[in-house]
Structure formats: structure tokens, C-alpha cells
């Protein structure tokens, strides 16, 4: 497995300084118009970071949010057709013992507009849809990536070969499920933590594997066109995982991505904490499939 090439990284708190609490559970990132928008599992506010990832960048600021749900955010996307931002909430109770993901909608200035359910039942409150992106095929669709294989939790969800993406289109009162994408059975991820789309090209990251998969959707329908290519995040001299908490991914260019890292657990190694709560820019070492 070829490794990604690190170009730049920084702790998000170092970039934002005193604007935020030091605990930053980064969960999603969006590259748009030369800046990065970062959301957090434990904050309602949204960070806007300049591309230099420096505390001196005048682009840096925190976009305060007074309305809508306050935590549990998993990913962020932008729809160029409607000029709307979408932020995904992983899983919430919807009555009758059911759990579903929800999407909050913001205008181009990040003013809260509304929220709507993604009509797909989830097994449990903390095992929901971990990724979200907008795919345009004549109209807006949201792609929700299941955290576990075959959208299951527990041991069944950790069995590789069952990656699933649920496809949604806006209905009258909710986002209706209109399709499903099966990822290749050869993809050996035990978990899935984020998805990004660039046209028909998909990028998917896994926390457990500390890896990135790049593939392509078929020109029509909701099928993957190829087996794709898997790239590893860099490891240390002892070949140990150091990027342990990768949570979000977004395309910058056809061969460059930005990712963010969640806060490491207290039980994880120091090498994981060295890279946590950060934003990272990587280059894909070889050209991805055309």
C-alpha cells in the first residue's frame, strides 16, 4: 500500500488561538474557495481556517451558531446548485425506538435555515451515518456513508467487505432514501469515517485502517465503477499507526486532500495524541484513476 505524502498539518487550537476551548473533537472538513470549514462533534460553532494553517492567517475565524442542534455533528458539504451548506448529525431518536440521522441546512453566509431527517433506520444512537457529501446528477443528492459494514454495529459491522453508502433526495418533509451504493468487497476497511466527492470520484477514509480509498462512481446509476486504490496514511519508523483518529476528508485538487483528526481517547498511545485535534493536507503520490 502506497503512503500518502504529508504536506502540512497543525493543531486546530493553535490556528484558532483563544477563540475556542482546547478540547476539539473535529469530525468533518470542507475545502471551498481556498479555505477550510471544520465542524466538531462537541461544538455547534463552525471553524473557518485559511489554507496556510497558520494562526496569523486573517481568514481564520469561528462562525457562531445560535440555532439548531448543538452537538453530534459528523460531516459537512456544500451544494453549488442551491448555494447551501449541509451539516450531518450522526444519529438521533425519532420515536418508537428508532434512530435516524438528520441534516441541518445553512445559507451561503452560514445562517441556519432548517433541518430534515434522512429516512434510513439506524441500529443504535452512536452507530450512524459517518460521512456526507453532495453528488449532482441533474439534481442534488446526499450520500450518507455507514460507519459499519453493511450498516451494522458490533462484530458484524467490523467484518470487511460490506461498505455501504445510502443515497438521499429531498422529499416533501425529509430526505428520502432513493438508492444504495455497495463499495467493493475487496475493500478491507473495518470502519468508515468520512466521504468526499469530486464529480464521480470518491474519497473514503477509515480510522481503524488509517487509510484512504479512492474510487469512481459509474456514469449512470448508483454503482462503483472500479475496485479503486487504497493509500495508507504515513506511519512512524516502527511502522506504527500515528494517524489514529481521522474523521473527515475533502478534495482540494484531483491529487490533494485535507483531513481532520478527532481527539484521541485516553487509552490510546501518545503517538495518536501527537496527531489528534488537527488538520492535515496530504498529496496522493501517484495519479488516481482517470
Query: What are the extents of the domains in the chain?
Result: 5-283
Domain at 5-283: CATH code: 2.115.10
Residues 6+ apart with CB under 8 A from 238: none
Residue 18, pLDDT score: 76
Positions of the chain with pLDDT lower than 50, given as ranges: none
Going by C-alpha positions, the residue among 208, 217, 203 that lies closest to residue 189 is: 208
Residues 6+ apart with CB under 8 A from 59: 34, 35, 48, 49, 50, 51
Write the burial class of residue 106 (CB in 10 Å: 0-12 exposed, 13-18 middle, 19+ buried): buried
Going by C-alpha positions, the residue among 284, 204, 285 that lies closest to residue 247 is: 204
Residue 204, pLDDT score: 97
Residue 71, pLDDT score: 78
What does the alpha-carbon distance between residue 22 and residue 287 come to, in Å, rounded to a whole number? 37
Amino acid at each position: 500500500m502506497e503512503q500518502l505524502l504529508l504536506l502540512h498539518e497543525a493543531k486546530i487550537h493553535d490556528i484558532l488561538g483563544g477563540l475556542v476551548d482546547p478540547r476539539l473533537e473535529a469530525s468533518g472538513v470542507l475545502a471551498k474557495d481556498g479555505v477550510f470549514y471544520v465542524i466538531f462533534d462537541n461544538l455547534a460553532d463552525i471553524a473557518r481556517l485559511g489554507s496556510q494553517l497558520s494562526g496569523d492567517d486573517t481568514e481564520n475565524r469561528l462562525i457562531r451558531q445560535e440555532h439548531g442542534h448543538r452537538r453530534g455533528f459528523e460531516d459537512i458539504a456544500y451544494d453549488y446548485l442551491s448555494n447551501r451548506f449541509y451539516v450531518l448529525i450522526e444519529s438521533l431518536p425519532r420515536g418508537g425506538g428508532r434512530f435516524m440521522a438528520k441534516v441541518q441546512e445553512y445559507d451561503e453566509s452560514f445562517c441556519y435555515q432548517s433541518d430534515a431527517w434522512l429516512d434510513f433506520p439506524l441500529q443504535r444512537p452512536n452507530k450512524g451515518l459517518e460521512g456526507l457529501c453532495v453528488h449532482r446528477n441533474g439534481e442534488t443528492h446526499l450520500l450518507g456513508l455507514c460507519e459499519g459494514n453493511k450498516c451494522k454495529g458490533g462484530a458484524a459491522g467490523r467484518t470487511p467487505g460490506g461498505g455501504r453508502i445510502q443515497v438521499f433526495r429531498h422529499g416533501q418533509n425529509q430526505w428520502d432514501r432513493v438508492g444504495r451504493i455497495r463499495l467493493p468487497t475487496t475493500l478491507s476497511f473495518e470502519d468508515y469515517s468520512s466521504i468526499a466527492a469530486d464529480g464521480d470520484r470518491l474519497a473514503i477514509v477509515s480510522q481503524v485502517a488509517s487509510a484512504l480509498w479512492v474510487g469512481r462512481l459509474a456514469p449512470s446509476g448508483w454503482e462503483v465503477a472500479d475496485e479503486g486504490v487504497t493509500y495508507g496514511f504515513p506511519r512512524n519508523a516502527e511502522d506504527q499507526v500515528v494517524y489514529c483518529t481521522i474523521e473527515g476528508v475533502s478534495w482540494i485538487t484531483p491529487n490533494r486532500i485535507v483531513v481532520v483528526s478527532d481527539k484521541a481517547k485516553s487509552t490510546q498511545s501518545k503517538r495518536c495524541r501527537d496527531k489528534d485535534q488537527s488538520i492535515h493536507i496530504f498529496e496522493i503520490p501517484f495519479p488516481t484513476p482517470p
